[in-house]
Amino acid sequence: MHAHMIMMIIFTPNPHSLRVTPSATEPGRFDWSIWKDKEVVQRSVRSFGSEGASEAAGDTALRAVTTIWQNGK
């Protein structure tokens, strides 16, 4: 009889989320923010000329925040 090893994978959803919103200070521009537990963790330093550009920049920041969170730092 062979011993079998059962591997379990536990999926923990990312608690961070990205939000893109119209800029409160610059009409026609967009800001991004990263949220966790109803609190802002990080936000854009500058606004972007389109929602897509803001989302792309925010996604890059979200990936960095997620990597830090996954590594437990």
Q: Where are the domains of the chain?
A: 16-70
* pLDDT band with cut points at 50, 70 and 90 for residue 6: confident
Q: What is the pLDDT of residue 5?
A: 65
The CATH class for the domain spanning 16-70 reads alpha beta
Tokens of 27: 């009409």
What's the whole-model pTM score? 0.79
- Phi/psi of residue 43, nearest 5 degrees: -140, 160
- Residues 44/56, Cβ–Cβ less than 8 Å: no
